[in-house]
Structure 1
């Protein structure tokens, strides 16, 4: 049995002490300062959830909201609809954004492109190229860096960077999120949703603690998925970094059902199926390495996954 990812013991201890009222440190400021350093953005707000961070970001957009046709987060479309924004769907290469496709779109001025650092969690986006295109074409770039914060190539170039810190995200607290930008107008325009999404010092203390290891935890996860991709054939985006592994298969549903019986965890599972907007819109099995406790990302555990995939004729 594998172990599902939980906040570190240090994080749980800190949150417990804050809940008891034993700590007077301003954890919101401390966490915000660490996020500023990681994202290279000067303005940071801690929020009550990743979706609330998205709500704040999209509330600040005057034009259209451009969302990828797959490999994003279903909250992009749901929140844009709720805000009565005009939604423009961008064709992608199985979630990966190709700026040539942006040339084909007709959008209003001051529109925004919202995307995830990793397409479907499986493949690193070329954020430098994407954000450069947006800047040159009067578009706002909004990056959901829930799975990419802490990396030198991710969460640093977009106009707005946001993330969830819920379970089982990279910053794993169980709730909360953040939004960061160098543009103070983003925050001036959205004072009401910011007030509605304010969170507690308890959650802030957890975020502050988890941020101390976020770079290492991301590296461990990326290395684990890279290891799996070396031994699993026919994975999507095999040459890209990611935090899960997606394997196309016509019989994905029944194979995933069987794998879930043999690759169990102490809580929620780590095998999901596609089509799924949050992953890819074709039949596939996703091995959600990002869901596993870091102690289970060692070679012997990864070899167990590979062995079970062989049994299922996926390798």
Structure 2
């Protein structure tokens, strides 16, 4: 049986000690902020109560249009932009991958922003450096949801965007069960959003968990990326096969029935790690997604990955 990813034992113990006031002399919020600054390269960081609240703060500061990818993003982008009564523009992508040249085709206002995830549909890293360069040259603010990409050792993800935000809920790379953060070098972002920041405050308990998880976030992300790479290497028909990701997406016309078979054979102790497409958060065509990011790190060893490959082959997904 596979195990669903949960906060590490160390993180749970620290959070428990803070909750019981056994530890009460450490400012975990400031410690976590300092670590996030090192990861993002930004001078200003706020810890929030959730990833969606981080998105709410970021979009609240934008005066122009909100540009979102046509697939491979996060449905909260559109929901929150709508709630804020922002004008939403959908950007054509290559199965979630953003091509800056496509932005040329858009008619957008000044002071607009592009919001996207580090990994398109979790399966393929975005070229954040090229996206950021294009947008800076065209006075478009970039907002990167780095929930799955924070801590990238190659510093390609969670590093180049004007605003970087993340969820630290389960089963994210920073896996606390709740919380999030937002970082930027743009003073105006936080000046304009005092009220939503105030409404999104969190506790020292959550901050202690985030602080703990940040200590080895780069190693955990690297472990996840390597596991996904192993699967892509042994499977033929995967989306964005040559790109780093934290899940594997395999197109198939009979995705729904095959996913049921896989869920029966690849069982977990909690929530599953098999999802189906079409799904805005993944790709908008029939496919099966193997959510490696959802698995406990003990289940990312070759023996478990080989079991996944075997079951995929049995179901003619090789």
- Alignment TM-score, normalising by the size of structure 2: 0.99
Q: Does 2:100 align with 1:99?
A: yes
Find 1:164's aligned residue among 164, 167, 171. Answer: 167
Secondary structure of the residue that 1:180 maps to in structure 2? Answer: strand
Partner of residue 20, structure 2: 20
Distance 2:310 2:160 in 1: 39
Q: Does 2:315 align with 1:312?
A: yes
Secondary structure of the residue that 1:168 maps to in structure 2? Answer: coil
Partner deviation per Cα, 1:25-76 (whole Å, 9 max, x = no partner): 0000000000000000000000000000000000000000000000000000
Distance 2:203 2:314 in 1: 47
Partner deviation per Cα, 1:141-187 (whole Å, 9 max, x = no partner): 00000000001111111000000000000000000000000111100
Gaps of 5+ in 1: none
The count of corresponding residues between Structure 1 and Structure 2 is 315
Partner of residue 254, structure 1: 257
Distance 1:232 1:198 in 2: 44
Partner of residue 227, structure 2: 224
Secondary structure of the residue that 1:247 maps to in structure 2? Answer: strand
Partner of residue 42, structure 2: 41
Partner of residue 8, structure 1: 8
Q: How far apart are residue 210 of structure 1 and its match?
A: 0.3
Distance 1:111 1:278 in 2: 22
Partner of residue 55, structure 1: 56
Distance 2:57 2:127 in 1: 24
Distance 1:27 1:73 in 2: 29
Structure 1 runs of 4+ off > 6 angstroms?
none
Distance 1:21 1:80 in 2: 39
Q: How far apart are residue 129 of structure 1 and its match?
A: 0.3
Find 1:285's aligned residue among 285, 288, 295. Answer: 288
Distance 2:222 2:199 in 1: 34
Distance 1:21 1:189 in 2: 35
Secondary structure of the residue that 1:45 maps to in structure 2? Answer: strand
Secondary structure of the residue that 2:73 maps to in structure 1? Answer: coil
Distance 1:190 1:228 in 2: 43
Distance 1:7 1:213 in 2: 12
Distance 1:312 1:177 in 2: 38
Q: How far apart are residue 11 of structure 1 and its match?
A: 0.1
Secondary structure of the residue that 1:272 maps to in structure 2? Answer: strand
Gaps of 5+ in 2: none
Distance 2:215 2:297 in 1: 15
Q: How far apart are residue 312 of structure 1 and its match?
A: 0.5
Q: How far apart are residue 22 of structure 1 and its match?
A: 1.5
Partner of residue 148, structure 2: 147
Partner of residue 114, structure 2: 113
Distance 1:185 1:203 in 2: 27
Q: How far apart are residue 233 of structure 1 and its match?
A: 1.3
1:54-203 equivalences under 5 Å are 54-151=55-152, 152-203=155-206
Find 1:265's aligned residue among 263, 268, 276. Answer: 268
